[in-house]
Structure 1
Amino acid sequence: MKKSELEAEVVILGGGTGGCTAALAAASMGMRVIMTEETDWLGGQLTSQAVPPDEHRWIESFGCTRTYREFRDRVRSYYKNNYPMSKEALEDERLNPGNGWVSRICHEPRVALQIIEDMLAPYISSGRITVLYGYVPESASTASDAIEWVQVKNIVSEEVLRLTGAYFLDATECGDLLPLVGAEYVTGAEAKSETGEPHAVEAADPLDMQAFTYVFALDYKEGADNIIEKPEQYDFWRQYMPSFSTYPLLSWFVQDINKSDQIRKFTFMPEEGEEMPLWTYRRIIDKDLFAGLYESDITLINWAQNDYFLGPIYEVSQEEREKHLHGAKQLSLSLVYWLQTEAPRPDGGKGYPGLRLRKDVFGTEDGLAKYPYIRESRRIKAMYTITETDVSIEERKELGIKRYEDSVGVGSYHLDLHHTTRTYRSFYIPTYPYELPLGAMLPVRVKNLLPACKNIGTTQIANGCYRLHPTEWNIGEAAGCLAAYAVKNRITPREVRENKQHLQAFQAIIQQYGVEIHWPDDIQL
């Protein structure tokens, strides 16, 4: 092959959470894998997007894959083996390094990066996995409903490589491979007449997509002056009042996720009386656990106040994309500045100048995460589309958990839809635990394409629960195993689903690998 051409059985575009687990699964089944990653950090929402794992209440004992549980165990061991910790923390089998109340295991993005790199290390060292950092898909060639090659380009050097393989997995954060290969896909909001979902809109709008967020990290020292330079768009964001609220976006008042017609007031620091203050919401370091190592807690800021919903960043022009990416960064920096200078304090004063933007947490010049937290991707048109009615407690009632004969995983989370870019809808709908049907991972036409993250066959609403960390991890593993199984047996993924013998054989393999495919009948809901 030419120097500018690389070949492997499995080519994965995107090194986020799902991309990494797809690579790990395929390599463990003997495949040679090429994986690209736009940034210099693998791991996606766990690392470069800086989002502590959003998990369900059974996670410590059931409801995730074996390797996801291994990841969590390794995170806890990493802290205990490498950080000076209190006796109580060292003895805590369920250590939560940040004691954040959003997750049972809030931790630093760099630690997640280290663990993911460690898990991939044997396969990278042996040459079974090749990682191409700084590359994005640029073009592709298809023939007879199959992908022949994908061309990727380095965002710095502009070097171009042509990747060929038996299977191509889209693990990009926005489903960037789908339009390049001509795959059928959906974006934004579907119409109620199409999906039958009670919370769907009356008319479809492909550009009505969920908000995205640039996360940042803060610590705090009373009496210090760490005020950043005033952001260029601060005056705009300081007075901006969303149509769904009677309060400015930069305030302590936000829409109640459980009662969308009501406003809830939050407090900032724990001593201000609120049971769930924002400071501890996504806290990744609780200084009291670390035997005097830290002068302050460290917390990640991913709140309603820095959700950006003024426009999408894909399916639009490059100019529009850049405008909204810049606007989202300005919103997050404006939130920093507001917190430091104008945020109302319980004592009647304004601002917390001792708040410090921790640029070192991500190693970025602006102090923001390396990549925006993307909640919604292009989604394949699949053999089976998961909808609100498949998971909602209100809709399923006494039917309980929906079981799938072709299940290749499990998960659980509320239908959590953040404000969208056109209708500004948001809701938090209670759900039953759910399963991952293989049919939702099979494109309607393209034979050797598989989704490996939140780009599976869901509606926009169902995406609200299938997009979270343990589920994306599971999707990636299922995709990697499926590609490997198809290569080894010289069949297509669709044949795996259609042939009962192959389906059962494949399910046996992924269960042996550590993937749970059904919730127990006696699960306490």
Structure 2
Amino acid sequence: MERRKFMELLATGGAVAASTALSGHPFIALGDTVMRSASQGGQRGYSADVIIAGGGLGGCAAALATLRNGLTVVLTEETDWIGGQLTQQGVPPDEHQWIETHGATQCYRDFRAGIRQFYMQNYPLTEMAKGRRYFNPGDGTVSALCHEPRVALAVLHALFARYISAGKLTLLLEHRIVAADVSGDRVHALKARDLREGMEVQLSAPYFVDATELGDLLPLTGTEYVTGAESRKETGELHAPETGNPENNQAFTACFAMDYIPGENHVINRPEEYAFWQRYVPAMQPAWPGNLLDLDYSDPKTLKPKNLGFHPEGKSTGNTLNLWNYRRIINKANFTPGTYRGDISIVNWPQNDYFLGNIVDVDENEFKRHVARAKQLSLSWLYWLQTEAPRPDGRTGWPGLRLRPDIMGTTDGLAKYPYVRESRRIKALFTILEEHVGAENRMLVTGKEPLRAADFHDSIGIGYYHIDLHPSTGGNNYIDFGSLPFQIPLGALLPRRMNNILPANKNIGTTHITNGCYRLHPVEWGIGEAVGMLVAYSLGKKITPRQVYEKPGVLEEFQQLIRSQGIETHWPK
């Protein structure tokens, strides 16, 4: 999408959707004009050019790419918010240092510009804040754009508004895919359940995209996949474990938002599991330095004990990182006096990572049980901060910390969906290994210190993040080390056997190790956008995605097409 068109959309047709989304009532429409809706034996059905399951960043990017290329789309989302880790999971974007100018698709950067413009148009900013070229609402240290989940939601709805109005996009919120009609190497239809009404919807299309957070379509469609950690013997990776474990997945997190009102008491009721989490010492190798609910943790790079600071007024905590500033999404100093009573910060910290149970490839009851325990951990961490955290003045606890359910759009104050770091991964035509993207492993392969990752002839995108694996269900402590600016190979997006289902989230052909740098916001968006364009190109040429991959001339033409629409395939020299 051209930048001018994006900004016009945001300023005109998208305004209704944006304001509606911010008010807490997402803009939902069922576009029957093009979608050929039918009732089949009491079961409502939709058909389109592509069915996209999962409304996270990959799913939204895939939808935008297909829509701008003239296709029709049905997009399903399990919660009532699209936007995935940026909205429903409450995680400000984890990005690299070049994000403002390159290293992501133009559409992603325009989306980020739309978030800044939304603040400029709708919030009472100070003159100094208005004058900042790269305005950061929260001035959080994790990102150059720490912002509220609802603003990202508003901008996404603004982008989709005209397609919904024209009947090109059917957006089915609170719908979960529960079954698939498959024969051989093709998916014919999916069945989605309306989580509000209990009705089932039949969804048919030539192509299907799995943009769910856990790769939910893979087992339903019989698409071959792997989970957990591969052994060093399987992958040859420098940081892979000696013994593989398919149930060894990274921690997930129940995020929440809070502000701080000095002199007031907002202490929550003591959580049911507080006694457990208050005493809990993680059992992992190498060892955790003490209680999980504490300001000491394992340094991700060295695994030595490291102290973190905490001061909810943003004040310096010496040489230690002040956790309050890390994922702060509102810095009240950026807004006219009186707009905010205090800063607002997102809590996605080492202390509320949950690794006592696996949520990949488990039944719904087990999933819900672990999510409930993860919420208890997060609430226990909040309670500890309110009542026991050490203060610079010698006292303990910050009772003025206030849980902000309104920021997350929930009644319990916790994010609508857990922040998932690892999912099922397809068995792909090509698997990205540590030797391709890991700095140390790549140097062993090439014999010299490389500047960037392996060059893939089939690149359909680029990205960068260090390899960052959080403590895992298998008892591993952090695995955190340097990677190189990398490409996204088309072969990693193609299942070995299935022909019309494609991944668009954390379910591409990576390993447990390399997932650690391919799982963040701009890369997920880039994967989804490339997949959307691959569907459009394949349908237009009447060929399969595998043929695009296997025929050099066709692949080059496809790469030229995606570059013409703002997708970078190579890092600048």
What is the aligned partner in structure 2 of residue 195 from structure 1?
235
What is the aligned partner in structure 1 of residue 39 from structure 2?
2
1:409 equivalent in alignment to 2:453: no
What is the aligned partner in structure 1 of residue 305 from structure 2?
263
The aligned amino acid for 1:92 is R
Deviation at 1:217, TM superposition (A): 0.4
Deviation at 1:363, TM superposition (A): 1.9
CA distance in 2 between counterparts of 1:425 and 1:457 reads 24
What is the aligned partner in structure 2 of residue 343 from structure 1?
389
Deviations 1:137-175 (A, max 9, x none): 111111131101111111222110111100000000000
Deviation at 1:91, TM superposition (A): 0.6
1:137 equivalent in alignment to 2:188: no
CA distance in 1 between counterparts of 2:512 and 2:162 reads 37
Deviations 1:228-248 (A, max 9, x none): 111100110010011231310
What is the aligned partner in structure 1 of residue 451 from structure 2?
400
SS state of the match for residue 48, structure 2?
strand
CA distance in 2 between counterparts of 1:267 and 1:352 reads 13
SS state of the match for residue 299, structure 1?
strand
CA distance in 1 between counterparts of 2:103 and 2:172 reads 32
SS state of the match for residue 11, structure 1?
strand
Q: Residue 301 of structure 2 contacts residue 478 of structure 2 at CA under 8 Å; is this kept in 1? A: no
Deviations 1:371-404 (A, max 9, x none): 1100001000000001111111112232432111
Q: Which residue among 487, 504, 511 is the counterpart of 1:452? A: 504
Tell me the matched-pair count.
Answer: 520
Q: Residue 467 of structure 2 contacts residue 514 of structure 2 at CA under 8 Å; is this kept in 1? A: yes
Q: Which residue among 412, 423, 426 is the counterpart of 1:377? A: 423
Q: Residue 100 of structure 1 contacts residue 281 of structure 1 at CA under 8 Å; is this kept in 2? A: yes
Q: Residue 272 of structure 1 contacts residue 346 of structure 1 at CA under 8 Å; is this kept in 2? A: no
Alignment identity in percent? 50
The aligned amino acid for 1:461 is I
Deviation at 1:453, TM superposition (A): 1.0
Q: Which residue among 271, 279, 295 is the counterpart of 1:252? A: 295
Deviation at 1:314, TM superposition (A): 2.4
The aligned amino acid for 1:392 is G
The aligned amino acid for 1:271 is K
SS state of the match for residue 209, structure 2?
strand
Q: Residue 17 of structure 1 contacts residue 473 of structure 1 at CA under 8 Å; is this kept in 2? A: yes
CA distance in 2 between counterparts of 1:197 and 1:451 reads 23
Q: Which residue among 415, 434, 442 is the counterpart of 2:494? A: 442
1:284 equivalent in alignment to 2:329: yes
CA distance in 2 between counterparts of 1:274 and 1:382 reads 47
Deviation at 1:34, TM superposition (A): 0.4
Q: How does 1:75-90 map to 2 (within 5 A)?
A: 75-90=115-130
Unmatched tracts of structure 2, length 5 or more:
1-37, 444-448
What is the aligned partner in structure 2 of residue 51 from structure 1?
91
Deviation at 1:501, TM superposition (A): 1.5
Q: How does 1:96-495 map to 2 (within 5 A)?
A: 96-243=136-283, 244-260=287-303, 262-269=304-311, 270-274=314-318, 276-292=321-337, 293-397=339-443, 398-401=449-452, 402-495=454-547
Deviation at 1:254, TM superposition (A): 0.8
1:498 equivalent in alignment to 2:543: no
CA distance in 2 between counterparts of 1:6 and 1:248 reads 52
CA distance in 2 between counterparts of 1:213 and 1:489 reads 43
Deviation at 1:513, TM superposition (A): 1.1
CA distance in 1 between counterparts of 2:131 and 2:501 reads 46
SS state of the match for residue 390, structure 1?
helix
CA distance in 2 between counterparts of 1:399 and 1:233 reads 48
Q: Residue 208 of structure 2 contacts residue 501 of structure 2 at CA under 8 Å; is this kept in 1? A: yes
Deviations 1:423-450 (A, max 9, x none): 3232211111000000000000000010
SS state of the match for residue 271, structure 1?
coil
Q: Residue 266 of structure 1 contacts residue 278 of structure 1 at CA under 8 Å; is this kept in 2? A: yes
CA distance in 2 between counterparts of 1:485 and 1:301 reads 41
Q: Residue 434 of structure 2 contacts residue 442 of structure 2 at CA under 8 Å; is this kept in 1? A: no
CA distance in 2 between counterparts of 1:154 and 1:237 reads 36
The aligned amino acid for 2:99 is I
1:69 equivalent in alignment to 2:109: yes
Deviation at 1:344, TM superposition (A): 1.4
CA distance in 1 between counterparts of 2:122 and 2:207 reads 39
Q: Residue 16 of structure 1 contacts residue 43 of structure 1 at CA under 8 Å; is this kept in 2? A: yes
Deviation at 1:347, TM superposition (A): 2.0
Q: Residue 170 of structure 1 contacts residue 176 of structure 1 at CA under 8 Å; is this kept in 2? A: yes
**TM-score normalised to the size of structure 2?**
0.89
The aligned amino acid for 1:285 is I
CA distance in 2 between counterparts of 1:318 and 1:81 reads 42
CA distance in 2 between counterparts of 1:84 and 1:95 reads 13
Q: Residue 506 of structure 2 contacts residue 524 of structure 2 at CA under 8 Å; is this kept in 1? A: yes
Deviations 1:468-505 (A, max 9, x none): 00000000000110011111111110000111121111
Deviation at 1:272, TM superposition (A): 4.5
**TM-score normalised to the size of structure 1?**
0.98
Q: Residue 219 of structure 1 contacts residue 299 of structure 1 at CA under 8 Å; is this kept in 2? A: yes
The aligned amino acid for 1:266 is L
Q: Residue 15 of structure 1 contacts residue 35 of structure 1 at CA under 8 Å; is this kept in 2? A: yes
Q: Residue 102 of structure 1 contacts residue 282 of structure 1 at CA under 8 Å; is this kept in 2? A: yes
Q: Residue 266 of structure 1 contacts residue 274 of structure 1 at CA under 8 Å; is this kept in 2? A: no
CA distance in 2 between counterparts of 1:460 and 1:32 reads 34
Q: Runs in 1 of length 4+ with deviation above 6 angstroms?
A: none
Unmatched tracts of structure 1, length 5 or more:
none
